[in-house]
Structure 1
């Protein structure tokens, strides 16, 4: 992935998400009569600064470190030694506001992220996005194979909840598994026969390490069989050395007929440094070649290849598998809200399972992984990048609502205590909570960066 794509896509994503979050705090504070002193996107040395022309003289700043931001409000507790707040402005200090006003200002940041996610998802649904029909391919000796799944089954429902796309299956599988390890799939076979497949995952460690849930149970996308044709030969590769050419049709590999490009590639990868025999049709002439897959470390390959790029599946076959998923304005907004709620609850549940040890800490990702996903989604297309923004916006909203000191949820927890006991928590309690919050957030950042660099090294 090109850094010229990753860096701008990542910075744009962080800029949008942080700006929306902080604007939530800013907008509600202003509407409730609290004086705002500074609105900053980023921390550290200001790169850009402007002061508003109104009486409040609000300072707008874009700073050097983009990982966050803040809204500084008039607050007597943050007044340095010897400073005084003018008597006519004391009533506009944050600390002088009623409990519900302070809570509203604090919760406005995460709520802005959820609203952004709803709007983005609605926009994606209105624009329309290519979706894949939920046909499944089944891996041998997997839980799915043991449950009786057959390649070409189309999943129509999981535990009675309808599925129309591969994305629906992926999300519902995790959602329903978190409720119960026994899943009932409604499928339509290749012969158009409706059937049920019962998948019992009792004792199955779904989240013990990284990896997709569907891959772990042995389900993946299925494509109807099609001819495997060479589109291009890489110079100085094993394929070039034995004389393979573009437009060669692969009839068999070690006497086994490939049913598609994925099966052919997987066979090649499974035989590094082992000769394989290819029978090809070249303009009506049948020829055989013995080629040895290699791992080209100089070029940065991680798996064995022969240096032959394959042609894409035929357009007619693609039309059979893919469809355009789009809705009108009202349905898009409804689906956007439902999708945001679904992602929020799923994120919260997985976080909870992380504390109990059911979800591996290897699943925690940091800025490096997020940047990679930003670059990948941006390179695929606009709707995929928007979907990425929505997912991260939901995650940011959920994370900030956790009852951890320093986060918005920590402040809300203090306000809950204040509401119960009738008075604010003491300064000493806040100081201890601040140090605890720093330790928790610092530990999570170290873990996230460790996971990021482990992924890069692997």
Structure 2
């Protein structure tokens, strides 16, 4: 399955699962409150599958899979049979109407906790936060050195590279100095400050991370594996050899070694390597050759492999996993509202919005990384759906909740004229946000 079809497939899986769960929340609470549900639809438009239930509800899957809805018996949409008046939505007490509307986002929040709980029990394979800094970057200015392991960011413990980069990415939006605690390869602890205040305003997170220059550290320049029959093996290189120089140029790490090989081999494929083997310095002559491995671009290689990255898998028992799921949900909720607040105040750029194209790409990549990563992705999207739906924008659940809060205060429902005007405003706002997010997705693709 190529990237395009994979992205489309996993997008449909994501929307299908999350929309169904969201709408089931409305449906389930409505039924508990005695409201008659006429239709439960996953998707919009023409039905491609439908079935009538014993309860009289029509269950359907529609052609446009970008959402869904629950249609209830509602006097605002036509005459109601007097025999069914006690099952009509607007005739229910206001607290029941609030519960029905809030149930959709509430079920998305519940799904977030469940997905994270399962993820933590399965264990999400990740990489240890052992980092380096790009030359002349803000991270280098802060004192980050190759091989430093991040232990804490702003007082919070950090266990994986994903934790580290997500925390730093969110902090870049505030552009305030960020405290870090790192431990070097010798075990020495240092306290540093990332000067995020030096980041230019109005950029997206990706640009901030690139400017910051905080990167995963490359493995040391050790020949962890030597492929038989390849140039390195024929030259006498052995597993465990530490490569110190290429054509007299010092080598810092494996990435630096690969860079020197490509640069020097382009001038002359015959390379002089200085290696350290059991405290003995050796000089070896290797003739590099151009190859393509597993469909990757052709490049100069000598046939050695680097040490694998240090892994850090978070895996807990059921009770600890549930505690971690709740803590992660709360942390990400705070971060999401923080981002929304910064975008509304102009502190964070709207370039950070991502739409359906971006979601599809991340859905595909996370699915390829395994079930735990895909559960984490589903949890984050589900939480985003819960938060977005609670925004006080007419047409969203949050807009309806706003109407009911006004009704509680004034003692009577909001007029249909105001509600209709609100629907138009909500549509404009919603399509504006969707258009902006879609533009950002396309801009990111074209710029990459």
Are the counterparts in 1 of residues 221 and 257 from structure 2 also a CA contact under 8 Å? no
2:425 corresponding residue in structure 1: 436
Q: CA offset at residue 454 of structure 1? A: 2.1
1:225 corresponding residue in structure 2: 220
Once residues 272 and 292 of structure 1 are traced to their aligned partners in structure 2, the CA distance between those partners, rounded to angstroms, is 13
Residues 146-225 of structure 1: matches in 2 within 5 Å?
A: 146-174=141-169, 181-205=176-200, 208-211=203-206, 214-225=209-220
Structure 1 residues 247 and 62 mapped into 2: Cα distance closer, same or farther (>3 Å)?
farther
Structure 1 residues 2 and 435 mapped into 2: Cα distance closer, same or farther (>3 Å)?
same
Residues 282-361 of structure 1: matches in 2 within 5 Å?
A: 286-287=284-285, 306=299, 308=301, 312-315=305-308, 318=309, 321-361=310-350
1:50 corresponding residue in structure 2: 51
Q: CA offset at residue 203 of structure 1? A: 4.6
Once residues 59 and 139 of structure 2 are traced to their aligned partners in structure 1, the CA distance between those partners, rounded to angstroms, is 55
1:408 corresponding residue in structure 2: 397
3-state DSSP class of the match of 1:77? helix
Once residues 400 and 127 of structure 2 are traced to their aligned partners in structure 1, the CA distance between those partners, rounded to angstroms, is 43
3-state DSSP class of the match of 1:67? strand
Are the counterparts in 1 of residues 392 and 398 from structure 2 also a CA contact under 8 Å? yes
Structure 1 residues 411 and 127 mapped into 2: Cα distance closer, same or farther (>3 Å)?
same
- TM normalised by structure 1 equals 0.84
Once residues 309 and 207 of structure 1 are traced to their aligned partners in structure 2, the CA distance between those partners, rounded to angstroms, is 44
Once residues 11 and 206 of structure 1 are traced to their aligned partners in structure 2, the CA distance between those partners, rounded to angstroms, is 35
3-state DSSP class of the match of 1:323? coil
- TM normalised by structure 2 equals 0.85
2:240 corresponding residue in structure 1: none
Once residues 310 and 251 of structure 1 are traced to their aligned partners in structure 2, the CA distance between those partners, rounded to angstroms, is 17
Once residues 148 and 415 of structure 2 are traced to their aligned partners in structure 1, the CA distance between those partners, rounded to angstroms, is 61
2:63 corresponding residue in structure 1: 64
Once residues 439 and 11 of structure 1 are traced to their aligned partners in structure 2, the CA distance between those partners, rounded to angstroms, is 25
Task: Structure 2 unaligned segments of length 5 or more: list them.
Answer: 238-242, 275-281
Once residues 455 and 117 of structure 1 are traced to their aligned partners in structure 2, the CA distance between those partners, rounded to angstroms, is 27
Q: CA offset at residue 357 of structure 1? A: 2.3
1:138 corresponding residue in structure 2: 133
Structure 1 residues 263 and 114 mapped into 2: Cα distance closer, same or farther (>3 Å)?
farther
Structure 1 residues 363 and 273 mapped into 2: Cα distance closer, same or farther (>3 Å)?
farther
Structure 1 residues 267 and 209 mapped into 2: Cα distance closer, same or farther (>3 Å)?
farther
Once superposed, what is the RMSD of the aligned Cα atoms?
Answer: 3.3
1:98 corresponding residue in structure 2: 93
2:65 matches 1:41: no
2:353 matches 1:374: no
**Which range is displaced more, 130-139 or 214-223?**
214-223
Task: Structure 1 unaligned segments of length 5 or more: list them.
Answer: 233-242, 294-298
1:22 corresponding residue in structure 2: 23
1:445 to 414, 417, 434: 434
Q: CA offset at residue 292 of structure 1? A: 10
Structure 1 residues 129 and 300 mapped into 2: Cα distance closer, same or farther (>3 Å)?
closer
Q: CA offset at residue 116 of structure 1? A: 0.7
Once residues 431 and 52 of structure 1 are traced to their aligned partners in structure 2, the CA distance between those partners, rounded to angstroms, is 32
1:85 corresponding residue in structure 2: 80
Structure 1 residues 91 and 154 mapped into 2: Cα distance closer, same or farther (>3 Å)?
same
Structure 1 residues 353 and 266 mapped into 2: Cα distance closer, same or farther (>3 Å)?
farther
